[in-house]
Amino acid sequence: MALQRDFEALCAHFEPAFYFVNRTIERRPKMMSNKVRVGHIGAVGYMKNGEKILEISRRELWHDGVLDEKFDIEILNQMGCGEALEGVAVGADMYHVQKVRAFIGPYCNAELDAVAKMATFWNVPIVGYMASSNTFADKFIYKTLARVSLRTTNSLAEAVCSST
């Protein structure tokens, strides 16, 4: 009980100083900055300028106002789609060690399958840009996967043209 009284007396003594510090902090402009780390898992020998393309895309998002001082992305690039499913290990490393919270790729079907399942478990978004297997349409398994590819776009165009 005496300890509590001493603590309250000490707080009362320093209250004006706490008030001054709190008011000073509140007057500072609050620049919130959220930077999300996005991991791109490419393929050795393909898309040789992938890093440059992604940086140009990032700059376009800034120019269009999608990204700004309050929300930005940092793109980390690593290669996968080798003989030993390196992209799966890369995806796990990016998530656990490098703190990536969204994925682009992997480039190939086999690795996208595994990384997309892990992304569902982690509840992080993943965009597949080349893998085109119809199995990826199963949203029960691939809950956080979005796909864009030439094949799916072409299939959509063919379906629209055949219905007219």
pLDDT in tens, 91-113: 999 999 999 999 999 989 999 99
Q: Is residue 163 part of a domain?
A: no
β-pair partners for 147: 128
Q: Are residue 22 and residue 45 in the same domain, yes or no?
A: no
Which residue range is the domain that position 12 belongs to?
A: 1-30
When mean pLDDT is compared across 20-24, 87-91, 133-137, 154-158, the lowest value belongs to: 20-24
Residues 23 and 47 placed together within one structural domain of the fold: no
13 and 56 fall within a common domain:
no
Same domain, 39 and 63: yes
User: Using CB atoms within 10 A of its CB, is residue 100 exposed (0-12), middle (13-18) or buried (19+)?
Assistant: buried
pLDDT in tens, 29-63: 455 569 999 999 998 888 788 889 899 999 999 99
Are residues 61 and 104 located together in one domain of the fold?
Answer: yes
Same domain? For 83 and 142 the reply is yes
Which residue has better confidence, 115 or 129? 115
Q: Do 24 and 75 fall within a single domain? A: no
Does 22 share its domain with 79?
no
The single-letter code of the amino acid at 109 is N
Rounded distance between C-alpha atoms, residue 51 and residue 58, angstroms: 11
Q: Flag whether 100 is in a domain.
A: yes
> Based on the domain organization, do 96 and 17 belong to the same domain?
no
Within a domain: 56: yes
Q: Which of 25-29, 66-70, 81-85 ranks highest by mean pLDDT?
A: 66-70
Whether 162 maps to a domain, the answer reads: no
Domain count, the chain: 2
Residue 134 lies in a domain: yes
Q: Are residues 15 and 68 in the same domain?
A: no
Report the distance separating Cα 129 and Cα 57, nearest Å: 14
| Higher per-residue pLDDT: 127 or 25 | 127
Based on the domain organization, do 18 and 67 belong to the same domain?
no
Mean pLDDT score across all residues of the chain: 81
Same domain for 3 and 72, yes or no, is: no
What pLDDT does 132 receive?
Answer: 75
What tokens were used for 149? 């590819």
Model pTM score: 0.70
